[in-house]
Structure 1
Amino acid sequence: MTTTSPATGLTAPRPRGGIVGSAKDSLVIARRNLLRMSRIPEVIVFGLVQPVMFVVLFSYVFGGSIAVGGSTSPQAYREFLMAGIFAQTVTFATAGAGAGIADDMHKGLIDRFRSLPMARGAVLTGRTLADLVQTTLTLVVLAVVALLVGWRTHTSLVEVLAGFALLLLLGYAFSWIGALIGLSVRTPEAATSGGLIWLFPLTFISNAFVPSENMPPFLRTIAEWNPFSATVQAARVLFGNLPEGYPVPDAWPMQHPVVASVLWSVLIIVGFRTLAVRKYRSANA
Structure 2
Amino acid sequence: MTAQAMADAKTADDRTGARCAGTGTGPVLARAFRILGAFGADHPAMTLSELARRSDLPTSTVHRMLGELIGWGALERGEDGRYRIGLRLWEVGALAPRGQGLRESALPFMEDMSQITRENVQLAVREGDELVFVERIAGTGAVPVLTRVGGRFALTVTGGGLVLLAHAPLDVQEKVLAGPLPPFTRRTVTDAHTLRRMLADVRRNGYSVSDRQVTMDALSVAAPVYGPGGEVAAAVSLVVRHGSRSAHEIAPLVCASARAISRALTQPGRAAP
Task: From the two aligned structures, give the one with the greater strand fraction.
Answer: 2
Higher relative contact order by CA 8 Å / sep ≥ 6: 1 or 2?
1
TM-score of the pair, normalised by structure 2: 0.25
TM-score of the pair, normalised by structure 1: 0.24
Task: From the two aligned structures, give the one with the greater helix fraction.
Answer: 1
